[in-house]
Chains A and B, each alone.
Chain A
């Protein structure tokens, strides 16, 4: 399975703190994506990092990728209550007929 596994399952922090969540996977990849899901809504694509990249930034998001360890991390800096959501990673192999698969995600609660 190409599914990523997010860790921790749940994370609770105070507003203004940084939130870090991790993703591990088992096979080689072409890229890895992170998604956010607010309660009762569909997933929203946040950021994609390619296998030849080690770090990528988008606003308050910082994603790292370590292909030797088959792991990625998503850092949200200066968290806000609006960041409360579940976060999913999706590692992707580029060849063949396939679709993204998702783990159970990390549930982030940002306390105001």
Chain B
């Protein structure tokens, strides 16, 4: 999607290993979000950021940490990956706190933990 890229697109990792997913934007938007999507659960919010070094937890934050040292990058880290974290991860950005312009989503990262 224009202005937002996620990397890697696919990753297979072993249980217990650390994994970092990257979300990069070129829109200079202040607000960034990480979601995971699993069958039967829709999208669930993991963490979000209101700006550099300003992050907050979502509904499924256990086992995940985030960092935002630059406006353009929002990193999601699985400290010790577990099979339950096998999922598709989406990053989103927003220009407005009140979402008047909607969120723009990345294309997702498919993570498999074996």
Please indicate whether A and B come from the same complex rather than being unrelated chains: yes
Seen from chain A, the residues whose Cβ lies within 8 Å of a Cβ on chain B are 1, 30-31, 33, 35, 40-45, 48, 88, 90, 92, 94, 97, 99-105
A-B contact pairs, 15 of them (CB 8 A): A31-B99, A31-B100, A33-B99, A35-B102, A42-B106, A43-B43, A43-B103, A45-B101, A88-B42, A92-B98, A92-B99, A99-B48, A100-B33, A102-B42, A103-B42
**Which residues on B sit within 8 Å (CB–CB) of A41?**
107-108
**Which residues on B sit within 8 Å (CB–CB) of A33?**
99, 102
**Which residues on B sit within 8 Å (CB–CB) of A43?**
43, 90, 92, 103, 105
What CA separation (Å) do A42 and B106 show in the bound complex?
6
**Which residues on B sit within 8 Å (CB–CB) of A45?**
101-104
- The answer, yes or no, to whether B62 is at the interface (CB within 8 Å) is no
Q: A42-B105, A102-B43 are in contact. List 4 more A-B contacts (CB 8 A).
A: A35-B102, A100-B99, A102-B35, A104-B42
Q: Which 4 A-B pairs have the closest CB atoms?
A: A45-B102, A42-B105, A104-B42, A102-B43
- The answer, yes or no, to whether B56 is at the interface (CB within 8 Å) is yes
A16 to chain B, nearest CB (A): 28
Query: For chain B, which range describes its interface: under 10, 10 to 19, 20 to 34, or 35 or more residues?
Result: 20 to 34
Whether the pair A94, B98 counts as a contact (CB closer than 8 A) is yes
Asked whether A104 and B41 contact (CB < 8 A) given A42-B90, A99-B48, the answer is yes
What CA separation (Å) do A2 and B1 show in the bound complex?
26
Q: Mark B1-33, 1 if CB is under 8 A from A, else 0.
A: 100000000000000000000000000000101
**Which residues on A sit within 8 Å (CB–CB) of B43?**
43, 88, 101-102
Whether the pair A101, B45 counts as a contact (CB closer than 8 A) is yes
Partner of B50, one of A40, A90, A97, A101: A97
**Which residues on A sit within 8 Å (CB–CB) of B50?**
97
What CA separation (Å) do A42 and B92 show in the bound complex?
9
